[in-house]
Amino acid sequence: MTVTSDHRRFRAVSPSTQPEVESSGWSSGAWREGSSPGSRQFVDIGSLRLETGESLPQVRVAYETWGTLNAARDNAILVEHALTGDSHVSGPAGVGHPTPGWWDGLIGPGRPLDSDRWFVVASNVLGGCQGTTGPSSQAPDGRPWGSRFPFITIRDQVAAEAALTDHLGISAWAAVLGGSMGGMRALEWAVTYPDRVRRCIVLAGSAYASAEQIAWCQPQLLAIRQDVSFFGGDYYHQPQGPELGLGLARRIAQVTYRSEPELDSRFGRLVEGEEQPLGGGGRYAVESYLDHHAGKLANRFDANSYVVLTEAMNSHDVGRGRGGIQPALERVTADLVVVAVDSDRLYPPRLSHEIGQASASTEPVHVISSDHGHDGFLIEIGQVGEIIRETMNRNVGR
């Protein structure tokens, strides 16, 4: 169903049902308990003590794996997803998975993350909406957490992943890697658990959330919270959820994910099809592009998770409580590989270079050449794969 507001720039697409047909009255793109798990596996880790001092009870973590854990249990790699990603790093869309893998070219036999050699694990992040406990999950009272879901940080997410690691019987990861919010968690892993990470690859990331990143997040959060269908976060059984606000948030974010030269060369001043933007209420092609991404996200994501995870990203600071960035990064003993995208305006290369300059464990920063901006870490599979393959082929201590 398409929901269109009175103003053409606010049109959004409401979430579709899961492929196996959900019951009515679920106003979210979140995966629901009882739906097909697809390739997901689950582990209950119990209560999780949060950085704020609160405890989150009955935490469940959803994850997927590729390859086989060897007898020594030392060939495991943890892949960390970004804000609207999930555990489905590789594989086709289908029942339980509305979209194909978001890094599909990197995992498999002979690929950079060679599943004949490595046991690759990816979990849905704490606070997410694709199987791991988050705002859309059932609380102990049987109702969705909704507005009652607590504030969480990047460190809390890593703590949940550490509990998953214990469950899998893995004492140390051969590598932890990710981009954007995934890069935040990868770096936090290397700082918090230096003895449990042998290699750490941080792509398009930073050691802290910058002022501009937080500034870009604020209008996204306001767009969702000011949607009349947000209901303070308790919208799951309302006739309609905050798809308009979520769509606006995605439009704002999408611009920051790409580069100005790419948008100009790709769209320029083209109009969308036969539409007439000069007084006719039509759209320019770039506006249609943003509408498309807004609708796609509403079909597969949850507005509360977007809020919770965005605020977790804003909390990111490896130096908090550790004497600052430099002392925190001096804790890292992993082979630290930092990767920037030259056209990234959301996580500009200077933030990657700051990590490199503060840590004694890193080599010179790798810079990916791309016209695609921040999303280059997802799109430039060839360059990313070459860096990963080279890193994984190096012998490291422990």
Q: So which residues are the catalytic ones? A: 180, 344, 374
Single-letter code of the amino acid located at 7: H
CA distance 274 to 292: 17
Q: Are strands 335-341 and 199-203 parallel, antiparallel or unpaired?
A: parallel
Helix or strand run (H / E) with residue 349:
helix 349-358
For residue 204, which phi and psi values (nearest 5 degrees)?
A: 50, 50
Which residues on adjacent β-strands are paired with residue 60?
Answer: 44
CA distance 353 to 351: 5
CA distance 214 to 212: 5
Q: Which tokens hold the place of 55? A: 């405890």
CA distance 61 to 76: 17
**Is 262 exposed, middle or buried, given 0-12, 13-18 or 19+ CB atoms closer than 10 A?**
middle
CA distance 293 to 279: 25
Decide if 201 contacts 388 (C-beta within 8 A).
yes
Cα of first residue to Cα of last residue in the chain, in angstroms, is 54
